[in-house]
Amino acid sequence: MRRSRSGSKKVPRGKPQTVPKYEDNLTDYICGKAEQMSQFADDSFDAVVCTLVLCAVDNPEAVVKEIKRVLRPKVGVFYFAEHVFARIGDGTRVIQKVAEPIWPTLFYGCHLMRESGEVIREAGFKVCKITRFDLHIPSPIMYPLRSAIYGIASK
Ligand SMILES: C[S@@+](CC[C@H](N)C(=O)[O-])C[C@H]1O[C@@H](n2cnc3c(N)ncnc32)[C@H](O)[C@@H]1O
């Protein structure tokens, strides 16, 4: 998690691809597991941004529960974009099932069969808007990542 100059906006720690737009505003950051964010008070964040993280954490349910806990009621917004397990009947789902046993070893703990949209939906946010889409995949080896979601939630 990173903290902005204003002290009110935090974004997830991560690789540079999706973080640079926040860099100008960052003054400090905290490294740790998102399953356990006890250093942050309840209802203390205006926004939590989570991109391609729920595929990699040990316990997605615990992470979303913590995100919900730290978000400010009504005004706080959880923004997310994640690759997910494809729908039943989608060919990508078969590829994901085949690749899953080896994928986390090859790609730093990333899992292909996560139902992250359902995890977020079932966390009990008052507002929860989730859109499924297909990621543009430039290389065949990355095809299992094709199925994705983005959305917002607030409590
Ligand atoms: C696929 S990378 C995505 C990085 C970045 N969010 C992005 O969109 O480019 C997955 C990230 O999840 C982080 N991660 C893995 N397990 C985690 C955990 N339990 N809590 C917080 N972050 C975790 C990894 O350190 C890694 O930076």
The answer, yes or no, to whether any atom of ligand 1 lies below 6 A from the CB of 15, is yes
Entry pTM: 0.86
Q: How many CA atoms lie within 13 A of 61 on its CB side?
A: 1
Expressed in angstroms and rounded, the spacing between residue 42 Cα and the centre of ligand 1 is 22
The stretch 8-35 carries a mean pLDDT of: 65
Q: What is the CATH number of domain 2-154?
A: 3.40.50.150
Answer yes or no: is the C-beta of 36 below 6 A from any ligand 1 atom: no
Tens digit of pLDDT for each residue in 64-75? 999 999 999 999
Q: How far apart are CA 31 and CA 29, in angstroms?
A: 7
pLDDT at 41 over 90: yes
CA-58 nearest atom, ligand 1:
19
Nearest CA to ligand 1 atom 1: 52
| pLDDT reported for residue 20 | 60
- Domain segments of the chain as ranges: 2-154
